[in-house]
Structure 1
Amino acid sequence: MPVSPLDPAEPTKVRSYHSILRRLRCRGGAVDISATVAPRFEYGLFAPRFLLTGERSAEIVGGADAIWVSASAPLQCDGEGIRGRWRLSVGEDVWMEAAWSPSSEMRDPSGAPDATELARRLDSTIAFWRTWMRRCWYEGEHGGHVRRSALVLKALTYAPSGAVVAAPTTSLPEAIGGVRNWDYRYTWIRDATLTLISLFVLGFRDEADEFKTWLERTGAGRPQDLQIMYGILGERSLPERELPHLVGHRGSAPVRIGNGAVKQMQLDAYGQILEAGYLYAKAGGRLTPENWRFLAGLTDIVCTRWRNPDHGIWEMRDAPRHFTHSKLNCWVALDRATRLAARHGLTAEVERWKPERDAIRAYLLEEAAPTGWFQQAAGLAAPDASTLLVPALGLLPTTHPAVLRTIDIVRRDLECEGIVYRYLTSDGLPSGEGAFLLCSFWLVDTLTHAGRLEEAEGLLARLLALANDVGLYAEEVDPTSREALGNFPQAFAHMALVLSCAHLSAAKAGHVPFQGTHDYAELALDRLLARSERERA
């Protein structure tokens, strides 16, 4: 997907050509090449019109969409698609581009890019990504995996708005033949803030600024109207519907577009925003008075809502519950807001929020861990991998007996072949899904900060081996077959990989304290800031 700088003075600000560019090169002998462009618009509701507009150019038009095909060698049209069939000898190239536009923007075929222009676009794209990657400060182990994941996270960012999608696909199944097929082409507050935190600790500051701007626009208005997710331009209405004319990937129906979770109450989103705001400010980011009013408004909402049940991080489609992870993030929201307020001398807010923060902590210790380990929800003595975040978010030290027992129970009941399931309880849908890569990286982090580095390193090695041939991860994986499951590539998995590698590398270098209570992301940021100070000195 070619890009070029909008301004030479700002090489990371780009123009996108809304196209897919391919260069086919024969490196030895001779090879026969066959290429086909045969899209179906509107999710396959109809076949578009295919038309050659020149020897090496074609248009595909249907409804509101058009695709313009150009190549450096002759093309053919057979009524079902645009095709190219060529024989290349050693050293020969063929270029091909498929570019999208609204069908109302008809193009002059004589203006189709030639091989020289397509080569220039490729060079510009390579230069952009190399320039962007030079901003990465990571020097730890598994640098190739970390840099690849950073590239994926950047590619999941919609440049015009700064929004970050959870994945670029819809309805890839979490179990082949199953019904857990969801549309991830949207921006979840939770996913995006965690993604930006992971980029931030690698040294990528601009993306955090751009997402902050997106959130300011999207969340404009009353804090109580904040949604858990939005469209990439800030759209609020994302109605979920099924497409019965599509059979789904390998027969996994239904295929869905839109996402009904947009209407759910998920309390953890408040904690994610306040955590991101706290880290952003600590790193020197500027919070305007309007930003602070918004964050303070969210914190006040947490004070009134934290006692309510919700649908949780896993977006369960049955009755709301008092999920441990949700209450934990309500505590995070109040804790980080209290710290921000204290830093700015806002004593009235501190005095108002502290009692609620302490009440949530007491609730978690009494109701979420009544038998000495953190269960999925109050009144539900079942393990949930999200409870591994109790030490990661700074509620308790990793050495606390309840944390250690939680680790053991999660590993005993949810780990399979080194990969961790989210939970095994009923959630309102037919059973059947893969193990969750995000949860597996959480386990690596918890073991790392508990000082169990050999275990963490072994588990991380297993997870790194699950990437495909170009270093990409889906949402889930079948522990037995190692088959990728769910939408692909998924931001959660790549975000978690970045942080796990950073934490473990720092721990092996002696830069992670194994005692005391810590926010893992804040520790990573502190290491980055310390390095910045050393370089300035």
Structure 2
Amino acid sequence: MTTRHTYDLGVIGNCAYLALIRQDTRLQWLCWPRFDSGFVFGALLDEEQGGEFSLLPPEGEFRTRQYYRDNTNVLCTEVETAQGRYRVTDFAPRFQQYERYYKPLMIIRKLEPLAGTPRVRAVCRPTGDYGRQPLTPRRSSNHIAFLGLPEEIRLTTNVPLSYILDGEDFALSETKYLVLTYGAPLEAPLESTCEQFLSRTESYWRQWVKSTSIGSVFQTEVIRSALALKVHQYEDTGAIIAASTTSLPEAPGSTRNWDYRFCWMRDTYYILTAFNNIGHFEEMEQYFHFIANISTKVRDKYQPLYSISGASELIEEELHHLKGYLGNQPVRIGNDAYTHIQNDVYGQVLVALLPLYVDKRFTDPERAHSEQMMYEALHFIERTMEQPDAGLWEFRNLAQYHCYTYLFHWAGAKAACKVAARLGNTDMGELASRLTREAREKIEACYDAERGCYTNAIGSPHLDASGLQLILMGYLDPNSERARTHLAALEAELMTPEGLFYRYRHADDFGTPETTFLICTFWYIEALACVGRLDDARQALQNILRYTNHLGLLSEDVDARTGSQWGNFPQAYSHVGLVNAAYRLAKKLDRPVFW
């Protein structure tokens, strides 16, 4: 029997950085000073060259239990040994201070005894430039500085420095604190400051959750997904990354190892929908600012993705010195998808701009450049209507006339029609109406009358899970026979016996996909709700929760046969999918039932 693989990791973050911590207290992944910087801890990709930050028993067997403090991103790991039990509380400080958010490049690790007198060995050995830059430790009176990067990494602690530098274990008889910083160090009383930061960070997250609008179904899971999604936003610019990691394979040995630490403009609609569904306006507004900033730099085309600072060049590079996750190579940084032609992005931008005009929470100044952006996006649609592209799934050596692209041409142009009517802009309205009709003709060219479904591209026989969006975006009337037969065809070809969905089943540049793609299953759940199969939708949503890890976190991909998690982790878009599916189901049920 094949062992089920899950990521035994928890995520913490404060919208300035993200870190992944294993169930045995090892900090497995941390990039500083930005999400897309080189790692300072990267044992996830190479145990030897990835550095180490751990609080482990020196010897003997031990058991652990990892959990979040209720409704927070504060992570606790309890370790039980023959000598006693202790808890490590890890968090990234975040709270309001001086009318803005305090979110330092600082990780705080609180180490406290719970029973007996356990012995602990504290190891802190950061590295630089993806393990290629060794750092030099320098002892000071109450901290260790690690030198070699543009800014100092500092460990401030009340654990005796000699124990850390010499690798000696010690008896844990009182609470200890370890504060690791990049750049600005902690220059304040250690114990009281850590406790204050912990209290204020917990309060911040709990208040954020209280201000979250969620339906009455699957509340616990939606809260965890919302908290995970929140920390994937880089607050400095408003960008939202797909995942905090790179090169975790979609399937072992597949070489589908990609860097996801970037912002996919192409997925704008789904992200903004998720934040709107949970009632978080601030995050929507920040993301709009990011999109507006990108738009002012666009000349020839929108890219599918940009860096978190809006940089357009994301040169893909393979790091041959790293072994890779469980030996899976290559390890890649950067993403060549930035060079791809993916024309659905223009419709994504148009649909994303619609709330500026229909949501009363936005004011006129926030629409300042959006009318120009709408015109530009419409003209891009007009120029690319006859252009094949790489499609949603970023085929590297295959260009087709994708149904999904034309769906977003249609949806984007329809959104522009609504805005034009509101503005009284006849020229925009006429252009948008014409493009809506042209896009519909292209979508209908994908219809296979014999099978009663829409294929993935004009002239292609293949089906694709993105075809579910024809129902979700309102192109197909969910009560129509065509929606029913289309959904049935997708179920027959792409759904596994376990109820999960493949993106597609035909070969691409890397062969036939081996694992299912979680967001596609969430789209399927939404489609079930749309067509009125509410019991099926509820059951499917309940079923997919079996594929979370021990903390309720989702990966990108799942091996349907084993239930194993694969792909980058945690995957923001998988959590977006859960939020949107639960919202759609709750709205359809419209009754106060809790599951």
Question: What TM-score do you get using the length of structure 2 for normalisation?
Answer: 0.80
Corresponding residue SS for 1:247: coil
Contact kept? 2:273, 2:580, Cα under 8 Å:
no
**Corresponding position: 1:350 with 2:350:** no
Q: CA deviation at 1:226?
A: 2.6
* Matched residue, 2:93: 3
Shift of 1:433: 3.5
Task: Work out whether residues 268 and 349 of structure 2, in 8 Å CA contact, stay in contact via their aligned partners in 1.
Answer: no
Q: Partners in 1 of 2:163 and 2:111 — Cα distance?
A: 20
Following the alignment from structure 1 to structure 2, what is the Cα–Cα distance between the partners of residues 18 and 406? 49
How far apart are residue 403 of structure 1 and its match? 2.4
CA 76–313 in structure 1, closer or farther in 2 if over 3 Å, else same: farther
Match in the other structure for 1:518: none
What is the letter of the counterpart of residue 141 of structure 1? V
Amino acid at match of 1:14: Y
1:470-497 per-residue CA deviation (whole Å, 9 max, x = no partner) reads 2211111111221111111111100010
1:44 match: secondary structure: coil
SS in 1 for 2:578: helix
Q: Is the 8 A contact 1:388 1:407 kept in 2?
A: yes
Query: Shift in Å at residue 339 of structure 1?
Result: 1.3
Task: Give 2:347's aligned amino acid.
Answer: G
Q: Give the secondary structure class of the aligned counterpart of 2:369.
A: helix
Task: Confirm whether residue 306 of structure 1 aligns to residue 396 of structure 2.
Answer: no
> How far apart are the structure 1 equivalents of 2:294 and 2:168?
44
* Aligned match for 1:51, one of 138, 156, 176: 138
Separation in structure 2 between the aligned mates of residue 431 and residue 67 of structure 1, nearest angstrom = 44
SS of alignment partner, residue 412 of structure 1: helix
Q: Tell me which moved more, 114-123 or 308-317.
A: 114-123
1:267-296 per-position Cα deviation (integer Å, ceiling 9, x unaligned): 111122111211342222235242111112
Give how far 1:366 is off: 2.8
Q: 1:425-465: CA deviations, max 9, x gaps?
A: 12212444421110000000001111111111111001122
Within the candidate set 392, 396, 407, 2:476 is matched to: 396
Q: Which runs of 5+ in 2 are unaligned?
A: 1-90
Within the alignment, does 1:264 sit opposite 2:340 as a pair?
A: yes
In 1: Cα distance, 2:443 partner to 2:267 partner: 24
**8 Å contact from structure 1 (residues 434, 478) kept in 2:** yes
How far does the alpha carbon of each residue in 1:367-426 deviate from its partner, in whole angstroms, 9 at most, with x for none?
344542011111111111000000111111123333222222222222121111101112
Rounded Cα–Cα distance in structure 2 between residues aligned with 1:415 and 1:438: 13
5+ residue gaps, structure 1: 512-537
Distance (Å, rounded) in 1 between the aligned partners of 2:522 and 2:446: 27
2:30 corresponds to which residue?
A: none
Answer yes or no: is the 8 Å Cα contact 1:58–1:82 preserved in 2. Answer: no
- Tell me if 1:380 matches 2:460: yes
Q: Is the 8 A contact 2:446 2:456 kept in 1?
A: no
Tell me which of 107, 110, 117 is aligned to 1:23. 110
User: How far did residue 112 of structure 1 move?
Assistant: 6.6
CA distance in 2, matches of 1:113, 1:57: 13
Residue identity opposite 1:385 in structure 2: A
In 2 relative to 1, CA 191–71 (structure 1 residues): closer, same or farther, beyond 3 Å? Answer: farther
1:60 aligns with 2:146: yes
Q: Is 1:160 the counterpart of 2:240 in the alignment? A: no
| Corresponding residue SS for 1:420 | coil
Distance 1:200 1:82 in 2: 51
| 1:113-154 per-position Cα deviation (integer Å, ceiling 9, x unaligned) | 512111121122112212222211214211111111111111
Report the CA distance between 1:506 and its aligned residue: 1.8
Give 1:221 deviation, angstroms: 3.7
Q: How many percent of aligned residue pairs carry the same amino acid?
A: 29
Q: Among 318, 334, 345, which residue is 1:242 paired with?
A: 318
Partner in structure 1 of residue 8 of structure 2: none
Is the 1:228–1:262 Cα contact (8 Å) retained in structure 2? yes
Amino acid at match of 1:17: P
Letter in 2 for 1:451: G
8 Å CA contact 1:141, 1:505 repeated in 2: yes
Q: Of Structure 1 and Structure 2, which has the larger fraction of its residues in helix?
A: 1
| Native 8 Å contact 2:163 2:169 kept in 1 | no
Separation in 2 of the partners of 1:472 and 1:280? 32
1:489 correspondence with 2:565: no
1:130-529 aligned within 5 A: 130-222=206-298, 224-284=300-360, 285-286=362-363, 287-371=366-450, 372-416=452-496, 417-509=498-590
Alpha-carbon contact 2:455-2:463 (below 8 Å) kept: yes
Match in the other structure for 1:85: 169
What is the Cα deviation at residue 77 of structure 1?
6.8
Read off the aligned partner of 1:23 and give its amino acid letter: K
Preserved contact between residue 166 and residue 192 of structure 1 (Cα < 8 Å): no
Corresponding position of 1:34: 121
2:108–2:178 CA contact under 8 A, matched in 1:
yes
RMSD: 2.1
CA contact (8 A) 1:224 1:298 kept: no
Residue-by-residue CA offset, 1:36-80 (whole Å, 9 max, x unaligned): 2222211111322123223x42122224353211222213477xx
